[in-house]
Amino acid sequence: MSFWEKKNVLVTGGAGFLGSHVVDELKRMGCKNIFIPRSAQYDLREKGDIQRCLKDSNPDLVIHLAAVVGGIGANREHPGSFLYDNAIMGISLIEECRKFGVAKMTLLGTICAYPKITPIPFREENLWNGYPEETNAPYGLAKKLMLVQSQAYRQEYGFNSIYLLPVNLYGPRDNFDPTSSHVIPALIKKIHDAKKAGDSQMVCWGTGSATREFLYVEDCARAIVAASEKYDGSEPVNLGSGMEISIYDLVHLIAKLMDFKGEIVWDRSKPDGQPRRCLDTSRAEKFFGFKASVPFEEGLRKTIEWYTAQVG
């Protein structure tokens, strides 16, 4: 019998981009009892709703993926709500799960928690060596608070929770809304719209010099499920692919894959965000045997194909 076969698993955010892939992976691994709370029924910022959700799902394990997220623009416009909603959701959920007697929690942090200037590749021990990049610091700090709570609760109550730090994700079912999407879906939509309109150029934010690392969403789902089964430590663990690409090269690669022939113009009045992002992923391989397997171009092609099939 598999580890998952008789487990009751609550996946917050299970209907979202990453969550839907985690649910698929849980099913693939033999999990039959998966509870996906919807925000219309359960507001996870409210203590009473969390208690009702736990009573309704009776989970052995909680995978907490629910978050209020967005790109640089959304983070700059809504720093207060990004901080409050994510912090209160994490603090309340962890406390109520502890009181309810949940055996284990898997908590998802964010790469935005790292200091603005972090030596490359980012190692987990660098997390506290400075303040996060200003444009997404409120979100990053709200999610980082869950790591502090996780370690404090392990120390005081013996509560088993793990904390994972995924890099920027991409893939089918991503959020392509330009007001809140991250860089890859935003670029795919922008290029698709420019081609459809017959535009001769496309404007991109910043200078293109910032670098990012990306992890295909199915790889990330596999990592989360593996960690939930095999890892019981207090130390945070990076989830990434170990590759690094500049935004300039990324834009030109997506343009090539989508056959966009127009000029790419850089709006230097807009921020680049954190200068570089690339993770040391050795802990994930050591602790629960995870290594990313989907090549970047292949993942991009699958994402582009999914989006174009949706919009026609």
Rg (CA), the chain: 19
Which residues 6+ apart lie within 8 Å of 286 measured at CB? Answer: none
- Yes or no: say if 88 and 45 are a contact pair by the CB < 8 Å rule: yes
Catalytic site residue from 42, 114, 139, 170: 139
- According to DSSP, the residues that pair with 35 across neighbouring strands are 10
Question: How many secondary structure helices (H) and strands (E) does the chain include?
Answer: 10, 12
Please name which of 151, 153, 179 lies closest in space to residue 98, comparing C-alpha atoms: 153
> How far apart, in whole angstroms, are the C-alpha atoms of residue 299 and residue 312?
20
Question: Is 170 a residue of the active site?
Answer: no
Q: Tokens for 87?
A: 């912090």
Characterize 194-223 residue by residue with b for buried, 16 or more Cβ atoms within 10 angstroms of its Cβ, and e for exposed. Answer: bbeeeeeebebbbebebbbbbbbbbbbbbb
Strands 245-246 and 211-212: antiparallel
Active-site annotation, residues:
139
